[in-house]
């Protein structure tokens, strides 16, 4: 019964996120943590919540994306989700982000079940959905810079295309060398590819560089956005927008110039 309870709770949460249209990433992280806490209190629930490839159409398609098997498993997944999920949500909006997250997570499980048809494998963890988000971010905003862990090295600023390329190489090598262990690398690669394929249907706000109408202005914008002090960056941005827009507005993660919205 606990799988039914979690399934209904997740549907309720997803509905709430679609309605409020904000903070999707943080609500997903909180949900993952709550469900992992349930697993700690009721260890037997882990198998109930996981996705079993022997039963391909089941509630596990959804609950399996939120269940995890260890502290390190959920910690790593949630850190990466925050690092890549937040930039994508800000860029395309909460609803589109959540749709990509759920679609890639679920479809990658189905692909895995189809490839290993007739065999019973247990899948759990948000990593498939996270790789789907990664693929979408790569397709839509390859030149954007994000903080990311490359192995054990933390990079405070790295272009999306390099971060995703690094992750993709690791996953493809694991499959090529037939190194599975406890990690379903095929789910990761499937989700990454699915995310890249569906991303064009979920385009968001244009980059702020599109406010500029010449290469020199774009260069100025890039230099402004590199400013580390938020107050100074805002002052410089205002000076730039005064010259480029008849009317403008600066939000937390966007600007509006002459009625058009651009992401920061």
73 and 192 share a domain?
yes
Same domain, 27 and 75: yes
Same domain, 141 and 257: no
Q: Please identify, among 202, 217, 243, the residue that sits at the C-terminal boundary of a domain.
A: 202
Report pLDDT for 218.
83
Q: What is the mean pLDDT of residues 52-77?
A: 91
177 token code pair:
């060398």
Structure tokens at 48: 């109930």
User: Are 33 and 48 part of one and the same domain?
Assistant: yes
In 24-159, where does DSSP find H-type helix? 24-41, 45-49, 60-63, 71-92, 94-115, 127-140
- Determine the average pLDDT of the residues in 60-77: 93
pLDDT of residue 262: 79
Q: What is the pLDDT of residue 180?
A: 60
163-211 pLDDT, tens digit per residue, is: 999 999 988 888 877 666 677 889 999 999 999 999 999 877 677 777 8
Instruction: Looking at the structure, tell me whether residues 169 and 196 fall in a common domain.
Output: yes
Q: What is the three-class DSSP state of 180? A: coil
Same domain? For 187 and 236 the reply is no
Average pLDDT over residues 35-41: 93
Domain of 17: which CATH number? 1.20.1540.10
Same domain, 158 and 27: yes
105 band by pLDDT with thresholds 50, 70 and 90: very high
Indicate if 186 and 255 belong to the same structural domain: no
Which domain-ending residue is among 202, 217, 238?
202
- Which H or E run includes 157? strand 153-159
Range of the domain at 48: 2-202
Over the Cα atoms of the chain, what is R_g? 20
Whether residue 162 is found in the same domain as residue 51: yes
Do 174 and 230 reside in the same domain of the chain? no
| Inter-axis angle of helices 71-92 and 94-115, nearest 10 | 130
User: Looking at the structure, do residues 120 and 198 belong to the same domain, yes or no?
Assistant: yes
Q: Does 146 share its domain with 249?
A: no
If one counts the domains in the chain, the total is: 2
């Amino acid at each position: 019964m606990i799988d039914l309870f979690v399934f209904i709770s997740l549907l309720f949460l997803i509905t709430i996120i679609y309605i409020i249209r904000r903070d999707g990433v943080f609500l997903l992280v909180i949900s993952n943590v709550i469900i992992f806490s349930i697993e700690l209190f009721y260890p037997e629930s882990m198998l109930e919540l996981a996705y079993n490839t022997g039963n391909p159409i089941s509630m596990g398609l959804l609950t399996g994306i939120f269940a995890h098997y260890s502290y390190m498993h959920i910690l790593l997944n949630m850190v990466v989700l925050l690092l890549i999920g937040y930039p994508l949500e800000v860029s395309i909006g909460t609803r589109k982000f959540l749709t990509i997250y759920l679609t890639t997570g679920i479809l990658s499980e189905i692909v895995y079940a189809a490839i290993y048809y007739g065999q019973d494998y247990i899948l759990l963890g948000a990593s498939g959905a996270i790789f789907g988000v990664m693929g979408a971010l790569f397709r839509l905003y390859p030149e954007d810079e994000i903080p990311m862990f490359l192995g054990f090295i933390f990079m405070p600023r790295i272009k999306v295309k390099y971060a995703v390329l690094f992750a993709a190489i690791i996953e493809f090598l694991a499959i090529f060398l037939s190194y599975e262990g406890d990690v379903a690398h095929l789910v990761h690669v499937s989700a990454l590819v699915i995310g890249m394929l569906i991303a064009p249907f979920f385009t968001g706000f244009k980059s702020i560089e599109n406010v500029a109408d010449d290469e020199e202005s774009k260069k100025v914008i890039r230099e402004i956005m590199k400013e580390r002090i938020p107050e100074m960056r805002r002052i410089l941005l205002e000076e730039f927008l005064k010259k480029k827009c008849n009317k403008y507005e600066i939000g937390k993660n966007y600007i509006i110039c002459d009625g058009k919205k651009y992401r920061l």
